[in-house]
Amino acid sequence: MTRHSPPPPTMGCSDAPVLKERGQHEVFCGLTGIIWLHRKMQDAFFLVVGSRTCAHLLQSAAGVMIFAEPRFGTAILEESDLAGLADAQDELEREVDRLLARRTDIRQLFLVGSCPSEVIKLDLSRAAERLSARHGPKVRVLNYSGSGIETTFTEGEDACLAAMVPALPATDQRQLMMVGALPDVAEDQALDLLGRIGIDNITVLPARHADARVGVGPNTSFALTQPFLGGTHSALERRGARHIPAPFPLGEEGTTAWLRAVARDFGIDQARVDAVIDAPRARARKAVAKAADSLAGKTVFFFPDSQMEIPLARFLTRECGMEAVEVGTPYIHKALVAPDLELLAEGPVISEGQDVEKQLDRCRTARPDLTVCGLGLANPLESEGMTTKWAIELVFTPVHFYEQAGDLAGLFSRPLHRRDRLKLEAAE
């Protein structure tokens, strides 16, 4: 432990009671995962089978990106599809044929289930099998559900990766699998650090291209870069791979702990690791310190969104000196976030699920200095005089590993800076 990170509290939040709530959830569904997944997998197409609402959601979430010949779309269910289930499979087949004829660069096609397709029990796995037989081996067709009734926001990525795992070829090679879709820049930095530490056999899930040879087997150890990958975690364990538990690589402390855990698993001694990470660690600390000035001593309140809330709260409290009031998260995978919970000092309410009106009441009572929430709540809270940081940006922006640690802190300090700068109140 360095002087920059306070020693771990004796218990942390490992055994803290969790406030479980249900009621109105102000969250995205798993379909939104497509927006960043399709950027990562460059030869994949995501075809949502759903309603106009699904198409409208993707359009609203994708913003301006929708126009750059995106590799996703919605097969919108119509009256006739609902009347009889028999021809839904044929309809889908026809649409996919047309799509693949137009987009010959597509190598992986994901049929993505939605609430309507799940409720009418449209069998997308059978459709995927049939289409795989029809368009294979050139195009592989997989399916997963991104419906709101089953998945919340980032869980869409989990469902997608978990669907890929059973189809991975088997391998006995001793290897590290890094799991989670990261922006290319962060992923490249991680691969470089791991390589210099001495781990030379590394695969990444999801890979950027379908033909990257990603195998899995009993000699595979995997490290998660994102906390929302519970389903993928189980699917990999079912293939015999072993999970390396670690805090998530956010901030200097998280990145260091993550790298050390991986190195330990591969029997690499700490001196070698330290020689590689000393310089980037120092850089990260310096960068975080700049932003941390304005964050220290401030309180933060998290509304549930991406499951990244617990590791983020750990980073903000330990490296930036903030105080967490409530850490809300849509779902807690105890096995995955345990190392982060251990590091998080006792105190904050840890809540799972949501009843948005009650949570808003708690937030208004607490009057936190900074509220992390979705775009549906951000402006309304700002108009009540609170400072907010909209959470979705944390999923799109490179925030992982050393070089992004300063940027990560900056995302939280910027709204506070802005509030200080604006002098818009009318003169008395």
**Beta bridge partners of residue 351, listed in sequence order:** 19, 328
Q: Minimum CB separation from other proteins for residue 66, in Å?
A: 6
Tokens 């964050």 appear where? 295
* Per CB under 8 A, 396 contacts other proteins: no
Tokens representing 318 are 């330990």
Identity of residue 283: R
115 labeled part of a ligand binding site:
yes
Q: Taking the C-alpha atoms of 343, 345, 347 and 349 in order, what is their torsion angle to the nearest 10 degrees?
A: -20
* Per CB under 8 A, 66 contacts other proteins: yes
* Per CB under 8 A, 28 contacts other proteins: yes
Binding residue for other proteins (CB under 8 A) from 376, 393, 417, 420? 376
Distance CA 146, CA 124 (A): 12
Q: Minimum CB separation from other proteins for residue 393, in Å?
A: 13
Q: Minimum CB separation from other proteins for residue 56, in Å?
A: 4
Minimum CB distance to other proteins smaller for 245 or for 376 = 376
Q: Are strands 108-113 and 72-76 parallel, antiparallel or unpaired?
A: unpaired
Q: Which stretch of DSSP H or E encloses residue 413?
A: helix 405-421
Minimum CB distance to other proteins smaller for 155 or for 252 = 155
Tokens representing 396 are 């799109």
Q: Identify whether the C-beta of residue 114 lies closer than 8 Å to the C-beta of residue 146.
A: yes
Q: Identify whether the C-beta of residue 353 lies closer than 8 Å to the C-beta of residue 26.
A: no
Binding residue for other proteins (CB under 8 A) from 15, 20, 60, 296? 60
Q: Minimum CB separation from other proteins for residue 53, in Å?
A: 4
Binding residue for other proteins (CB under 8 A) from 1, 10, 17, 67? 67
Of 86-94, 200-208, 209-217, 338-346, which segment contacts other proteins by CB under 8 A?
86-94
Q: Identify whether the C-beta of residue 23 lies closer than 8 Å to the C-beta of residue 352.
A: no
Q: Is 147 exposed, middle or buried (0-12, 13-18, 19+ CB in 10 A)?
A: buried
- The contact mask relative to other proteins for 294-333 (x = CB under 8 A, - = no) is ----------------------------------------
Tokens representing 85 are 């289930």
Minimum CB distance to other proteins smaller for 91 or for 403 = 91
- The contact mask relative to other proteins for 138-157 (x = CB under 8 A, - = no) is ---------xxxx-x-----
Minimum CB distance to other proteins smaller for 59 or for 270 = 59
* Per CB under 8 A, 55 contacts other proteins: yes
Binding residue for other proteins (CB under 8 A) from 95, 274, 342, 403? 95
Distance CA 268, CA 248 (A): 20
Minimum CB distance to other proteins smaller for 150 or for 403 = 150
* Per CB under 8 A, 92 contacts other proteins: yes
Cβ neighbours of residue 311 under 8 Å, at least 6 residues apart? 227, 247, 248, 250, 254, 337, 340
Distance CA 241, CA 236 (A): 6
Distance CA 420, CA 414 (A): 10
* Per CB under 8 A, 179 contacts other proteins: no
Of 90-98, 200-208, 225-233, 317-325, which segment contacts other proteins by CB under 8 A?
90-98
Tokens representing 192 are 């470089």
Q: Identify whether the C-beta of residue 297 lies closer than 8 Å to the C-beta of residue 416.
A: no
Intra-chain end-to-end CA distance of the chain, in Å: 51
* Per CB under 8 A, 75 contacts other proteins: yes
* Per CB under 8 A, 12 contacts other proteins: no
Minimum CB distance to other proteins smaller for 67 or for 422 = 67
Binding residue for other proteins (CB under 8 A) from 2, 11, 15, 59? 59
Q: Identify whether the C-beta of residue 295 lies closer than 8 Å to the C-beta of residue 322.
A: yes
Cβ neighbours of residue 240 under 8 Å, at least 6 residues apart? 216, 217, 218, 220
Q: Which candidate, 343, 336, 340, places its Cα nearest to that of 243?
A: 336
Site size toward other proteins (CB under 8 A) is 62
* Per CB under 8 A, 65 contacts other proteins: no
Which residues make up each annotated binding site for [4Fe-4S] cluster?
29, 54, 115
Which residues make up each annotated binding site?
29, 54, 115
Binding site for other proteins (CB under 8 A): 23-32, 47, 49, 51-53, 55-57, 59-61, 64, 66-67, 70, 72-79, 81-82, 88, 91-92, 94-95, 98-99, 115-116, 118-120, 147-150, 152, 357, 374-380, 382-383
